[in-house]
Amino acid sequence: MKWLYRIESAARLADRVYEYWIHAPHVARHARAGQFLIVRLHEKGERIPLTISAARGDAVRVIFMTVGKTTEELATLQAGESIMDVAGPLGRPSEIDNYGTCCVVGGGVGIASTPLIAAELKRAGNHVIGIIGARSADLLILEDEMREICDELYITTDDGSRGVHGFASDVLKRLLEERTIDRVWIIGPAIMMKVTSAVTAPAGVKTYVSLNPIMVDGTGMCGSCRVSVGGETKFACVDGPEFDAHQVDFDNLMQRQRIYTSQEKTAFERFAE
Ligand code: FES
């Protein structure tokens, strides 16, 4: 083993989606819902943020989609291999309390964050409703785990291949019409969080989203993770990553996420050669 952080297990969950358990006692022992870590694979690797999806004993679970050079490279590593740096847990934990009825919504690979949030809400005494959605059934992850944690679980797929044919926002809208929901968490692609949180705004339900801007250091030093919340500039890595959804400027977030698209494409092409 070359580096300190051993990969205990590596599995492919869906097309381009991988689940890794990494031996990282300092992260695993302190990890709370909503937090993330930053990994660097080797001396020449870039730093990338990954959401903490679960913690067990001395190991932490990350679930990621291959979207560029570093995630593609990470996905080539096997159980028994190792990575150089695992920094974390980073970011502020989710604001868990006993609110009453809470809904945790995950879209696509964003579902990775939902079990930890749902489990902590459940432990705090809430009635927890899960809604997990994906483009199609084969991209749906962690269904069994969420079913075990949540009091109720709803599934949606864009193409109708599993569960409700439609979007998580459709189910959430119906639930809000039928009953009182006290808090909502939404984790997924920026556009999905924008659309889904627009459903809770008219009902005045406090809603948290976990923002995923470009990050470099993850400690508030570089400014690359700037987001606009309530007209103020915040750093997602230290002020978030969770923010009040109804205050977030999602268009600004999506624009900033695209800043390095051409450089990322070049880096990936070089890696793939
Ligand atoms: Fe550098 Fe947040 S990632 S300030």
- On whether the CB atoms of residues 84 and 43 are closer than 8 A, the answer is yes
Q: Which helix (H) or strand (E) holds 239?
A: helix 236-239
Task: Give the percent of the chain with pLDDT over 90.
Answer: 82
**For 158-167, what is the mean pLDDT?**
95
β-bridge mates for residue 229, sequence order: 232, 248
CA of 224 to the centre of ligand 1 (A): 5
Q: If pLDDT is split at 50, 70 and 90, which confidence band does 255 have?
A: confident
Atom of ligand 1 nearest to the CA of 225: 2
Cα dihedral value 144, 83, 92, 248, nearest 10: -80
The pLDDT score that the predictor gives to residue 153 is 98
Pairing of strands 183-187, 206-210: parallel
Q: Are 50 and 39 in contact (CB under 8 A)?
A: yes
Buried b (16+ CB within 10 A) or exposed e, 69-94: bbbebbbebeeeebbebbbbbbbebb
Atom of ligand 1 nearest to the CA of 49: 3
- For residue 12, name the pLDDT band (cuts at 50, 70, 90): very high
What's the pLDDT tens digit per position in 79-97? 999 999 999 999 999 999 9
The pLDDT value recorded for residue 135 is 94
Beta-carbon contacts of 221 under 8 Å, excluding residues fewer than 6 positions away, are none
For position 263, what pLDDT does the model report?
61
What digits encode the pLDDT tens for the residues 139-157? 999 999 999 999 999 999 9
Cα dihedral 30/122/20/197 (nearest 10): -100
CA 38 – ligand 1 centroid, Å: 11
Across the chain, mean pLDDT equals 92
DSSP 8-state assignment for residue 94: P
pLDDT in tens, 97-122: 999 999 999 999 999 999 999 999 99
Strands of 66-182 (E only): list them: 82-83, 85-90, 101-107, 127-134, 152-157, 164-165
Q: Ligand 1: which of 224, 239, 260 to mutate, most ligand atoms within 8 Å of CB? A: 224
How remote is the CA of residue 218 from the centroid of ligand 1, in Å?
Answer: 4
Residue nearest (by alpha carbon) to ligand 1 atom 4: 220
- Number of Cα atoms under 13 Å in the Cβ half of residue 177: 7
Provide residues with CB under 6 Å of ligand 1: 215-218, 220-225, 235, 237
Q: How much of the chain, in percent, has pLDDT values that exceed 70?
A: 94
| CA atoms of 123 and 177, how far apart (whole Å) | 26
Top pLDDT among 24 and 217 is at: 24
| Spacing of C-alpha 223 from chain mean position | 20
The model's pLDDT over 190-245, given as tens digits with 9 standing for 90+, comes to 999 999 999 999 999 999 999 988 888 888 888 888 998 999 999 999 999 999 99
Structural domains present in the chain: 5-90 (2.40.30.10), 101-257 (3.40.50.80)
- Ligand 1 mean position to 35 CA, how many Å? 14
Q: What is the dihedral sign for C-alpha 265, 266, 267, 272?
A: positive
Closest atom, ligand 1, to C-alpha of 214: 3
The residue written with tokens 């339900």 in the block is: 205
pLDDT above 90 for 268: no
Check whether 17 has a pLDDT greater than 90.
yes
pLDDT for res 260: 58
Query: How high is the pLDDT of residue 3?
Result: 87
By most ligand atoms within 8 Å of CB, the mutation choice from 221, 234, 239 for ligand 1 is 221
160 CA to centre of ligand 1 in angstroms: 39
* Nearest of 194, 189, 66, 176 to residue 135 by alpha carbon: 189
Return the closest-CA partner of residue 244 out of 121, 89, 112, 94. Answer: 94
Crossing angle (nearest 10°) for helices 250-257 and 190-200: 170
Å from CA of 92 to ligand 1 middle? 13
